Amino acid sequence: MAVKVEATTYIAALAQRTETLESLLAHETVVLTLSRVLREDGRKSVDLATNILSVFFAFSNFSQFHQVILENQMGDMTMRIIDLEVKRAEDRSDAANKSKGRRPDESTQRRIDLAARKQDRLLYVCFYLLLNLSEDPSVERKMKKRNITVYLVKMLERRSVDLLVLCVTFLKKLSIYRENKDKMLECNIVDKLARFVPGQDVLLLVTLRLLLNLSFDPTLRQQMVERSMIPRVVELMKNPHFQHVSMALLYHISMDDTCKSMFTYTAAVPIILDFLLQVEDLHSAPELIALAVNLTQNQRNAEVLCETVAGAEQTRGFDLLVQRALRYQDPLAFKVIRNLSQQDVNIKLKFRPYVPDLIHLLKLEEAGSDLMVEVLGTLGNLCVPQFDMTELCMEHGLLGYMAALLDPGVVEDDVALEAIIFTGAVVNEANAHLVVEAGLVERIYNLMSEKKMDDEFVLQISYAFQRMLCCAATRDALLSSTQVVFYLVDLLQDKNKEVRKTADMGLDVVMDTDEEWAVKIRRMKFENHNQDWLELVDRDYGGSEGGHPRSGSGGGYPESGGDDSMDGDPNGMHSPGFNHLVLDTPQEYWGE
């Protein structure tokens, strides 16, 4: 055996020199002999197995030699050796546990350490050889069937940094496939990776990259949170070497609403604010802006960002961020500012000095730009009693500007949607007549049929109508010149819960303010509630079928001036055999 070990040592040394590889392969007997010796004696000597596998590992660094390796069944032999060494390591661990904590003597400990180092070296060569061969997807699939993922996860318990770096790199390559990721989840991989964060730089970097791949899975993300990964990774953002991957990982974690508040108790928000103020082009830092947008959706994080002081003059973070966004006219920075404007009134009031600048920027910007969308959305969030929006609308002609944006074909849908949201937010009794004069009522009503298949448009138009119906001038315009009531009644059957709720609120406003319309709406709501039964009766008596306006089919409600009478039952309904399914009268639905 000693002779074989010595001979293979020399051959392995030759294989380390690239120029000798073709010469070695030219001797077919060398390759065949090495594979036969490994198959017969590889289990008997770790040194022998390491030497022979080192030769084939040298070949595996070049794709053109992979076929030679596979023809000699080295992939199968390597997997068998890994399985054997894993079992040996487990037996050694069990023996140590059975010793009940008794420390071995010094010579025994040296032998154990030497055996562990030799085993680490052998496993390193084995896994590196397999990693090189796995560039062929069919070979990688065969490895997966042999539980390569399980063996790699077991290696994470070892202490050799080189072996750990290799195994984590291999796991990262495998993690892009769902079945491999699921197997890692079964093996509790997050528990094993957590001890490397923070840690040795090279190992830490590949660990973060593997965690980033795994963080696409919600269960694994939750395990990372439970292992206190957030504060540890936040600290790594300060190191330029880990900034990119740590921000990307934190961004994935911050997608879960339950996790956003956990960032409040770390240095994440002040660090992100510093980066936002330092980076000249935020397009070059997508992970940074994505993380900032996610975190500022949380009220507490937004408060921390606003109150954090920075710069030589110790200025509030809110002021620095808004001033930077206005100076550079950066739409990405305005995404963060828009999130801040969605928070409670205390944060909204901080915008008071900047509202004129925002309006000026809005009107200067080219219609339809990304910046315009964000600025308009920000202004829409600032419609609170503490700001006199009526005076601002009159001073800057905002309502006329919104009407121009809603003209057909002027802007893209995202800008039109923001204009509708702004109008619904800003309308009140003081400026309702201005909304009518600007032509916004007609324009928004006309968009109703054009965008009937877009849930977001339907919801925001319904909300704008509900707000307009609360004001006398816009209510009169809607009720006298549009069919808005019938539209809202039809929306009571919409599949979107929020659309149904908003439409119902708008109808309630009309019923509370106009008794004549209240009678009609009660009847229409009653008919809407019993629509299935009415259609069945209509078919029985030879009538035509109705339909929902958003389905594209016919049907609908009569004009407001039509005949409201019905033949048959004096209550306006006939319900043979359906008393258990429907309400027989509107009074039963609404009460007296």
Write out pLDDT tens, residues 379-392: 988 888 778 778 88
Bridge-partner residues for 132, per DSSP?
none
Hunting for tokens 């960002």 — which residue is that?
Answer: 305
- How confident is the model at residue 523, as a pLDDT? 78
User: According to the model, what pLDDT value does residue 237 have?
Assistant: 93
State the average pLDDT over residues 11-24.
84
Mean pLDDT (whole number) for 63-86: 90
Q: What is the pLDDT of residue 557?
A: 38
- pLDDT band of 570, cuts 50, 70, 90: very low
Give DSSP secondary structure letters for 464-499: HHHHHHTSHHHHHHHHHH--HHHHHHHGGG-S-HHH
pLDDT of residue 368: 66
Distance CA 316, CA 320 (A): 6
Q: Could you count the other beta carbons within 10 Å of the beta carbon of residue 480?
A: 8
Answer yes or no: is pLDDT of 293 > 50: yes
The count of other CB atoms within 10 Å of the CB of residue 98 is: 8
Backbone angles phi, psi at 372, to 5 degrees: -60, -40
**DSSP per residue, 414-447:** HHHHHHHHHHHHH--TTTHHHHHHTTHHHHHHHH
Q: Does residue 566 have a pLDDT over 50? A: no
Asked whether the beta carbons of 532 and 585 are under 8 A apart, the reply is: no
pTM of the predicted model, to two decimals?
A: 0.81
Cα distances from 259 to residues 161, 180, 245, 256, 394, in angstroms, run: 32, 26, 19, 5, 43
Is residue 454 over pLDDT 90?
no
Give the pLDDT score at 518: 80
3-class DSSP assignment, residue 175: coil
Cis ω before 331 (30° cut-off from 0)? no
pLDDT at residue 407, as a whole number:
84
Give which of 234, 236, 278 is closest to 254, Cα–Cα. 234
Class of residue 175 by CB neighbours under 10 A (exposed 0-12, middle 13-18, buried 19+): buried
pLDDT at residue 19 is higher than 90? no
For CA atoms 17, 23, 25, 29, give the dihedral sign: negative
Res. 542: pLDDT tops 70 = no
The confidence band for 583, taking pLDDT boundaries of 50, 70 and 90, is very low
Token reading at 109: 């400990």
Inform me whether the pLDDT recorded for 580 exceeds 50: no
Q: Where are the domains of the chain?
A: 1-94+109-146
What is the pLDDT averaged over residues 538-544? 59
Q: Where are the beta strands (DSSP E) in 233-301?
A: none
Confidence check: pLDDT of 552 > 60: no
Count CA atoms closer than 13 A to 454's CA, side-chain side.
13
Average pLDDT over residues 207-222: 95
- Ramachandran assignment for 310, one of left (phi > 0), alpha (psi -120 to 50 degrees), beta (any other): beta
Distances (CA, A) of 230 to 163, 221, 273, 295: 26, 10, 17, 13
Residue where the block lists tokens 């048959």: 568
d(CA 442, CA 478): 8
- Mean pLDDT across the chain, nearest whole number? 84
DSSP type of residue 576? T
**DSSP character string of 26-37:** H-HHHHHHHHHH
User: What average pLDDT does range 67-74 have in this prediction?
Assistant: 88
